[in-house]
Amino acid sequence: MKTINSSSHQYLSIIIFLFQYVISSISASNSAVQLFHGYVGGGNYSYYKLTLDGVLLLTLKSIEGDADLYISQNNLYPTFDVDEHALQSTTCGLDKVRIPRDLMRPVGIGVYGHPASDISKYELQVHWIDDDNQDRFVNINDYDDIQKADHNKPEAPLPAIGKDDDESILWTILVGILKVVLEILAS
């Protein structure tokens, strides 16, 4: 039976620290802060109130039908009327809206069911974006113009990051760390 000397112990401590850091970084960057599943009738709204601070990304995935996203800092019940929302995403697929840090909270979120379908089934995710500098100097009116201009650009589909992908990354890292630990202990 081998004993661990002090240099091996130091290496092991460093490896454990790095492992904890990597795991916390992966889980923080790939996970949704909040996840909602819902239904909305055609021509109707479902409403949410967002109080989280910081830069956030809202993604609305229409599972059935077509749901659209409307955001307001002045109205907790935004609609598709131009004066009733500040940000919007009205695609026929994945709707995304980036909420800048300087948008006053609480933020009203309206999920609108397009009348082409009797019922739209959707998944709404709220992601926290760890970005301290990017939106600090963005004026909300400029951002609204950018959002509307970007709305006309075709979007490439985002790869789905699911629970299986997270587990695969974690297992790869864990196996690599265990190999290093076993190599240290064997020497």
Q: Report pLDDT digits (tens) over 101-148.
A: 999 999 999 999 999 999 999 999 999 887 654 444 444 444 454 444
**pLDDT of 39 higher than 70:** yes
**Does a structural domain hold residue 26?**
no
**Does a structural domain hold residue 112?**
yes
The pLDDT assigned to 167 comes to 58
**What's the mean pLDDT in 159-167?**
49
Which residue, chain included where needed, has tokens 């009733």? Answer: 84
**Does a structural domain hold residue 85?**
yes
Domain residues for the domain of 91 are: 34-131
Residue 55 maps to which CATH number? Answer: 2.60.120.380
Q: pTM score, two decimals?
A: 0.56
Distance CA 17, CA 46 (A): 44
Number of domains in the chain: 1
**Does a structural domain hold residue 4?**
no
**pLDDT of 58 higher than 70:** yes
